[in-house]
Amino acid sequence: MSSILLPEPNPEIIARRDAIIADLISIVGAEAVVSDEDGRRAFETDGLTAYRKMPLAVVLPQSTEEVSAVLRYCHRNGIKVVARGAGTSLCGGALPAEDSIVVGVSKMNKVLEIDYENRVAVVQTGITNLAISNAVSKECFFYAPDPSSQLACTLAGNLAMNSGGAHCLKYGVTTNNVLGLKMVLIDGEIVEIGGPYLDSPGYDLLGLIIGSEGQFGIVTEATVRILRAAEQARPMLMGFESTEAAGACVSAIIGSGIIPVAIEYMDKPAIEVCEAFAKAGYPLDVEALLIVEVEGSNEEIEDLLARIVKIAEPFKPRTVKVSSSPAESAKIWKGRKSAFGAIGRISEYYCMDGTIPLKQLPHVLTRISEICGSHGLKVANIFHAGDGNLHPLILYNANDPVEVEKAEKAGAEILKLCVEVGGCLTGEHGVGIEKRDLMRHQFSETDLLVQMRIKSVFDPEWLLNPAKVFPLAERIMLDKAA
């Protein structure tokens, strides 16, 4: 994390606060503007609670047109804007600046259209991730990306960070499941990109915008893929005597050509905490656990599970347990989906997010333990093993400044390790503020300059989500290059 969190706020904007609030009320109405201190406090941070900044004001529009009017006003008056969904970001991506307006899309949460024949739905981006699947489940369809926070997180945040989830191994992350967007640019212009068809001509602007962390505009609507649900799905548990054996087993499964719906990993500290919370039947006498889920007809499932058990034999699993009922499957997934909350019951934690090549899993898991141990900290590993998306949870005392510093240093070392073995700084949580200064470790000066120039095309004055993603010093480099 950076020791310099955000630039000093613009005193002229701060001095005009009352006038700005009055103008915003005239645009969207008093009920859509939060200006009192207690109300704004709910928006001063996100899931990365180490940092807090009170925004100038919060606007909660109910339509694309209202978002357009607010951005047009902010652009005309040089006011910074931070877009916000549910605030579940774990990298400081939704952290406001003191001279910024937060524009939240939580009131824009409607399903606008469902087209089962063409397997698409059009939704407003304030809708929660799980609500999309719930809206189409009666026709046996679902929306594939499923972050652990899917009950609360919005599609807006998923688009900003290109979120994945347990089932992204088979179905892909957000960018693989979105066909079109409606976005408001900083000057208020409303643009539509893509649509309810397989591919768009020209440049892949969808791929550019999804994962751009609110740096290019505010997305208000999206056309998403909905998929026909499989006949049935079944998870199995495999417990191993070492983290290295579990990691090697993951590589072997993927290397065999079998693509399960999900392969999730937990180490011993995580197993114990999640089992105490969910009573899911996790084995407590192992060092690492894999949850492997496959889907299809009953015959397909039986065949795939038998093949996976055979693949695992050289790694000597101590426990192999296949779910025998829908209720047991739900318990298994309850333990995994509630893992972060379960860990939070016993300790504060610093949640990391990096990706690595699968063949590096055994080595990286060993090094993560060594890194945290060298700082005198414990770590619980819970992650999407199938696609190499790691989520080490570094346990620390948030009230102890020394431990906070140790956790930050250990986290930075882990992320650097991910890059060094051929991976990258983030899989689905984004860069935000947390990894901003580590961008230099992955990208050259030229790489960063090109990325910043693209940002400048969409947002020439850099008013959108300020001081995120790019190291602050690199902005000076961009100005000099210009």
pLDDT in tens, 164-185: 998 999 999 999 999 999 999 9
The CATH code belonging to domain 111-228 is 3.30.465.10
Record the pTM. Answer: 0.93
Supply the pLDDT for residue 482.
59
**305: enclosing H helix or E strand:** helix 298-312
Please give the Cα distance from 120 to 139 (Å, whole number).
13
Please give the Cα distance from 439 to 424 (Å, whole number).
10
**404: enclosing H helix or E strand:** helix 401-420
Supply the pLDDT for residue 243.
86
Please give the Cα distance from 280 to 421 (Å, whole number).
34
The CATH code belonging to domain 11-104 is 3.30.43.10
8-state DSSP, 154: B
Count of other CB atoms within 10 angstroms of residue 446: 8
Residue (of 62, 132, 155) closest to 103 by Cα position = 62
Please give the Cα distance from 243 to 326 (Å, whole number).
28
297-346 confidence digits (pLDDT tens): 999 999 999 999 999 999 999 999 999 999 999 999 998 988 888 898 88
Distances (CA, A) of 139 to 172, 208, 225: 22, 32, 14
Supply the pLDDT for residue 4.
54
Q: Give one DSSP letter per residue of 92-142, joined into a string.
A: STTPPPTTEEEEE-TT---EEEEETTTTEEEEETTSBHHHHHHHHGGGTEE
Please give the Cα distance from 136 to 375 (Å, whole number).
48
Residues 431 and 453: beta-carbon distance below 8 Å: no
Distances (CA, A) of 236 to 289, 320, 357, 432: 10, 7, 24, 35
Supply the pLDDT for residue 359.
87
Please give the Cα distance from 389 to 296 (Å, whole number).
25
As given in the structure block, the two tokens for residue 164 are 């994945």
CATH class given for the domain over 347-420: alpha beta
Supply the pLDDT for residue 403.
94
Residue (of 106, 56, 62, 109) closest to 81 by Cα position = 56
Please give the Cα distance from 88 to 150 (Å, whole number).
10
Residues 6+ apart with CB under 8 A from 429: 89, 90, 91, 93, 161, 351, 353
Give the CATH fold of the 232-340 domain: Alpha-Beta Plaits (3.30.70)
Q: Interior CA angle at 42 toward 391 and 38, to 5°?
A: 155
List 424's β-bridge partners, or say none: 355
Supply the pLDDT for residue 3.
45
Residues 6+ apart with CB under 8 A from 59: 24, 28, 32, 33, 34, 70, 101, 102, 103, 104
163: helix, strand or coil: coil
**pLDDT beneath 70, residues of the chain:** 1-4, 479-482
Residues 432 and 95: beta-carbon distance below 8 Å: yes
Residues 52 and 30: beta-carbon distance below 8 Å: no
Residues 290 and 263: beta-carbon distance below 8 Å: yes
As given in the structure block, the two tokens for residue 62 are 């109910």
**236: enclosing H helix or E strand:** strand 232-240
Please give the Cα distance from 141 to 228 (Å, whole number).
4
For the chain, the domains span 11-104, 111-228, 232-340, 347-420, 445-481
Q: Do domains 232-340 and 347-420 have the same CATH topology?
A: yes
